[in-house]
Amino acid sequence: MAPADQVSPRWPPVHAIAALRLDGTIGWRQAVWGVTAQIPRGSVLSYGDVAAIIGAARAARQVGWALAALSPADADDLPWWRVLRTDGSIALQGDPVRGARQAAALRAEGVAVIDMRVDMPTVRWRVGASLL
DNA sequence: GGCATGACATTGC
DNA sequence: AGCAATGCCATGC
C-alpha cells in the first residue's frame, strides 16, 4: 500500500546531471556525489543506475566505493541512503548501524522498507532513458 | 606493475 | 525465491 499521492513528484533534472559524466575534469567521487545529490526525496537509484548516468555502466562497485569515502560530515548533506542494490535491497546489511540508519532515513521520506528492501518498480527514480 | 579488496550486476542453477 | 560463480574496475598497499 503506497498510494500514489504519498510519493513525492519525480522531476528528471536531465540538464543538471548531464554535466556529471565522468571525463578528464571530473573525478569519481565528484561525479557520484553530484548525481546522488540530485535524487529526489522519496526516490532511489541503484548503484548501477548511478554508474550508467556518469558514463561508466559497468563500474557499479565504484559507486559504492565513492559513497563509502564520504566523510561523516558530508554524509549528513548527501542523500547516500537513496542508493540501493538493483533488487531494492540495502547494501549495508553487513553494517547493522548504518544499515538501520539507511532504512530509517528512507522511511522518514515515505519509502516503504520491508525486510531491508524497497520495491524498486515503485520508488526507482525514472531518469530519462537518454542518459542511460 | 601485481595483487587483494569491495555500500555491485548478471547469469545459471 | 535464494545462492554461487563470474565479470567488473578504481583504489591502496
Confidence category of residue A32, pLDDT binned at 50, 70, 90: very high
Residues 21-40 of A with CB under 7 A from strand B: none
For residue A63, say whether its CB is under 7 Å from any atom of strand B: yes
For residue A107, say whether its CB is under 7 Å from any atom of strand C: no
Task: Output the distance from A66 CA to C13 C1' rounded to whole Å.
Answer: 19
Backbone φ and ψ for A23, nearest 5 degrees, come out as: -150, -165
Predicted local distance difference test score (pLDDT) of residue A22: 79
Look at phi and psi of residue A115 and say left if phi exceeds 0, alpha if psi is from -120 to 50, else beta. Answer: left
Whether the per-residue pLDDT at A67 is higher than 50: the answer is yes
